[in-house]
Amino acid sequence: MKNLIIAFALLLTWVTNAQDTSEIHNTIEVNSSVKFKKEIIGYRVKIIISLDQLGYGVSDCNSFEELKERYFKKLKEKGIDTDKLKESKIEYLTMYFQKDGTVYNFETKSQEDISKVLSTRIIGVSTNSFEYQIDIENIKYDVLYEEALQKATDKAKKIALKSKRKIGKIAKVTDNSSYYKNWVYYNPQDEFLQFTITFEML
């Protein structure tokens, strides 16, 4: 009985392996890529207001509240809603400034608004950590996928022809790209959507 079970297990393994081998022999896998550039969909910047940044010889502003009030007034004059500035006191504490101050984070989808904030200059206030939020639209992704699929199909047909065979339906598609929405410190660069596409072989 034990020998019968072992024999059955070996037979099952052989059949499975044979099926796997058959599937491999009856498919063709190709890689395809298309160039694209993500779109800018947002901007954000860190604003540091600190008495430490006043420097020596500046005596017409003696308190943090006065400095903040002057800065906010300039922003409002440019049409910026200061309620959109989100304070992060804890970030300021990590910067080891000696005098009073704070950090504000400003985020917007408007290039005009971020430009207004960046161009608002006042002694005691600085900006850093400027970032772009980038993404790829679903519609654009669909167009790029179709382009990659066409490239893969043409490549697979040429390879199949060498074997005197034809390609059939798509058996599997794998997207190997990283195209998610994210924040970066640089302008969008050329990237590639990369796919691995498996076709049936006839």
Domain span at 94? 40-134
* Residue 3 placed within a domain: no
Q: Looking at residue 90, what is its pLDDT? A: 95
Q: Looking at residue 191, what is its pLDDT? A: 86
Residue 81 and residue 121 share a domain:
yes
Q: Which of 56-64's residues contact partners 24+ apart within 8 Å by CB, and which partners?
A: 58/123, 58/124, 61/123, 61/124, 63/100, 64/99, 64/100, 64/101, 64/102
CA distance 141 to 132: 20
Residue 109 and residue 47 share a domain:
yes
Q: Number of folded domains in the chain?
A: 2
Q: Which of 81, 112, 134 is the last residue of a domain?
A: 134
Q: Which of 134, 153, 172 is the last residue of a domain?
A: 134
Encoding tokens for residue 186? 């640089």
* Residue 88 placed within a domain: yes
Residues of the chain with pLDDT under 50: 1-23
Q: What is the tens place of the pLDDT at every residue in 4-29?
A: 444 434 444 443 443 444 445 689 99
* Residue 81 placed within a domain: yes
* Residue 21 placed within a domain: no
Contact 50, 91 (CB under 8 A): no
Residue 187 and residue 106 share a domain:
no
* Residue 15 placed within a domain: no
Residue 147 and residue 107 share a domain:
no
* Residue 9 placed within a domain: no
* Residue 13 placed within a domain: no
Residue 116 and residue 44 share a domain:
yes
Q: Which of 166, 161, 189, 199 is nearest to 32 (CA)?
A: 199
Strand, helix or coil at 97? coil
Backbone φ, ψ for residue 103 (5° rounding): -120, 135
